[in-house]
Amino acid sequence: MKDVMDTHTHTIVSGHAYNTMTEMMQAAAEKGLELLAITDHAPKMPGSTHPFYFSNSSMIDRDYYTKKFGGKTRYLIGSELNILPGGNIDLSEETLKKLDIVLASLHTPCYKPATKEEHTHDYLRILENPLIHIIAHPDDGRYPVDFEVLVKAAKANHKILELNNHSLDPLCTRENAREHDICMLKFCMEYQQPIIINSDAHIETEIGNHARGWQLIEELGFPEELVLNTSVEKLLNYLS
Ligand SMILES: [Zn+2]
Ligand SMILES: [Zn+2]
């Protein structure tokens, strides 16, 4: 299937990733992607950066880089927020307004696994935030969630759920992701909820690597029209 984008990638700013923003941009253009989003970890992730890094990002001339790297790749600058206990987040509303795309997810240094009810409750708070677009890797078995409630709330709030390619890597520390992804995708089919497949690349070689995600999509007969990776226009509709 046609796959023209990657909307979850990290640069050296995240503290545990290995390329600069411009290296990542160039690699995406060389791979022929039509869109790359740079989504560095928000400040509560150990080793990541200060909120000023994100609030200052309006100075990045996205079009300059599009031209510099061949004219075919659009660049979005965003962040992957840490969901904090209670459904709070780690960047201000004012800063989020300056970003092109905002992901939110649960990470063990920022959120100690609690109960299924608490995880679900906190996801619902995130889904009600108009400045957040994508729930990233909701498939981590360390954070059980009521997927039917999650999918229905994502649909009601016009949000995107991520199928994270890295979660499906046997080396990933997230637990039982495949089983949880299957559960999520089945509810997405039932409620017609769109998803996006992302690499979660922390190095340029992983940009656009969605192979495990697409394999699962094919296995389940998941409908292509619910996968946003096929069209930049479809994605932008969700961001607006
Ligand atoms: Zn990371
Ligand atoms: Zn993450």
The predicted pLDDT at position 69 comes to 98
Asked whether the predicted pLDDT for residue 186 surpasses 90, the reply is yes
Given a cut of 90, whether residue 71 has pLDDT beyond it is yes
Residue 74 CA to ligand 1 center (angstroms) comes to 23
What is the Å distance from ligand 1's center to 95 Cα? Answer: 20
Number of compact structural domains in the chain: 1
Distance 191 CA to ligand 1 centre (A): 30
Could you tell me the distance, in angstroms and rounded to a whole number, from the CA of residue 105 to the centre of ligand 2? 6
Nearest 5°: CA angle at 228, between 99 and 240? 35
Position 3 confidence tier, pLDDT thresholds 50, 70, 90? very high
The Cα–Cα gap between 121 and 62 comes to 36
Query: pTM value?
Result: 0.97
Tokens of 18: 């290995």
Count CA atoms closer than 13 A to 47's CA, side-chain side.
10
Q: How many angstroms is it from 89 CA to the middle of ligand 1?
A: 16
Q: Whose atoms come closest to the Cα of 48: which ligand?
A: 1
At 131-185, the pLDDT tens digits run: 999 999 999 999 999 999 999 999 999 999 999 999 999 999 999 999 999 999 9
| pLDDT score at 1 | 78
The pLDDT value given to residue 240: 86
pLDDT at position 16 is: 97
Calculate how far, in angstroms, residue 110's C-alpha sits from the geometric centre of ligand 2: 11
How far is ligand 1, taken at its centre, from the CA of residue 17, in Å?
A: 7
Q: How many CB atoms lie within 10 A of CB 61?
A: 11
CATH of the domain at 177: 3.20.20.140
pLDDT of residue 128: 98
How much distance in Å is there from the Cα of 135 to the middle of ligand 2? Answer: 10
Distance between Cα 229 and ligand 1 center (Å) = 21
CA of 213 to the centre of ligand 1 (A): 18
Closest to 179 measured CA to CA, from 118, 119, 138: 138
- Host domain of residue 172: 5-239
Q: How far is Cα 83 from Cα 110, in angstroms, rounded to an integer? A: 7
